[in-house]
Structure 1
């Protein structure tokens, strides 16, 4: 039986790649997008629900699928207000997980970040860590939390400091061996493919997938 997938964050780097993969995948007959703005030029198999996703609970009746992919995320630069930042990076994934639980969606995966730690003194890491904890508390059968390192790829917006960081990381990457492999740059294509592979194999016993494991699963 063909499946329905939900994507949150389909306009972002990883989400947009994942969307194209799902469109091209015959296992999926329907893709639901929940966002603030409509995306143009998408095929009929994509259904869009437009509204305030900071109030995602209002979409409960339409939040039904076989799988949920949460690729939502912001940056301190784009969202300097910490309260708003937390509503996005914590609030949206957690609400999505709760809606998935209510509607008996068996597969839920979310892109977190390397360094996520609910006990961290760093706001960003703490927020991601708290999000992960709340998502896992929903006990959705096939839950996967992906913790990528620095994500490489062509972004729509310009991030000068991030580009400089990527260049430096590429130079020193040969030094990353053993446990340091998880710190290597990972491209968004690998993350999107890993999510798709996890959803359709469900072979990983690990709930939290580190960056080096993401790369392995994507192959």
Structure 2
């Protein structure tokens, strides 16, 4: 039976690619988008909800699907205010997971990051770790947390630090373990598509496994 998917973050780098994938995937009949701005695509599969994502809990009645895929994320460079950063990287995914649990949605896929750790002294890693912990506490049957390393690709906003890291890792990547190599957004999006349509044995999925899933 064709499925309905919810995407949070469909206007971002990975989310945009994921949306394109789902629109051509016969497994999915409807793709609900919850975001601040329109993706600007006319497609009968798309059902857009233009909302304030910080108020996501107010849209429980519309938040119904077979799977939720959360591509929400920011950086400290883009969002230097730690309170706002936490509302984005922790608040939105955890609220989405709670709504999914309340509405009986059995699959939840979310992008986290390599190094996520609730005990980390690094704010970024600690926030991601807390997000993972509280998403898993919802006990959604099929929960998949992707922990990619540095994500490649060209973004609309300027991220000098990330760009320098991409160049460095592109040159010396052969020296790095598999889970630390650059991973492309197309690979992450494909893996999320596969996970949304089926299952996997692990809850937390690092870059090497993401690439393996995407190759299916």
TM-score class, shorter = over 0.9
Is it true that 1:191 corresponds to 2:193 in the alignment? no
- Deviations for 1:129-187, whole angstroms, at most 9, x for unmatched residues? 000000000000000000000001121222222112101101111112xxx21000000
After TM superposition, the score normalised by the length of structure 1 is: 0.96
| Runs ≥4 residues deviating over 4 A | none
State how far apart, in whole Å, the 1-side matches of 2:213 and 2:51 are: 34
Secondary structure of 1:128 counterpart:
helix
Q: Alpha-carbon deviation of 1:197?
A: 1.1
State how far apart, in whole Å, the 2-side matches of 1:190 and 1:144 are: 15
State how far apart, in whole Å, the 2-side matches of 1:138 and 1:117 are: 18
- Deviations for 1:92-126, whole angstroms, at most 9, x for unmatched residues? 00000000000000100100000000000000000
After TM superposition, the score normalised by the length of structure 2 is: 0.97
Report how many residues are paired: 215
State how far apart, in whole Å, the 2-side matches of 1:161 and 1:121 are: 20
Q: Alpha-carbon deviation of 1:78?
A: 1.3
Provide structure 2 residue ranges, at least 5 long, that are not aligned to the other structure.
none
Is it true that 1:212 corresponds to 2:203 in the alignment? no
Secondary structure of 2:14 counterpart:
helix
Residue 152 of structure 1 aligns with which residue? 152
Q: Alpha-carbon deviation of 1:22?
A: 0.4
Q: How does 1:1-219 map to 2 (within 5 A)?
A: 1-176=1-176, 180-202=177-199, 204-219=200-215
Could you say what the CA RMSD is over the residues aligned between the two structures, in angstroms? Answer: 0.9
- Whether the 8 Å contact between 2:4 and 2:67 is mirrored in structure 1 is yes
- Whether the 8 Å contact between 2:10 and 2:39 is mirrored in structure 1 is no
Q: Alpha-carbon deviation of 1:42?
A: 2.8
- Whether the 8 Å contact between 2:69 and 2:196 is mirrored in structure 1 is no
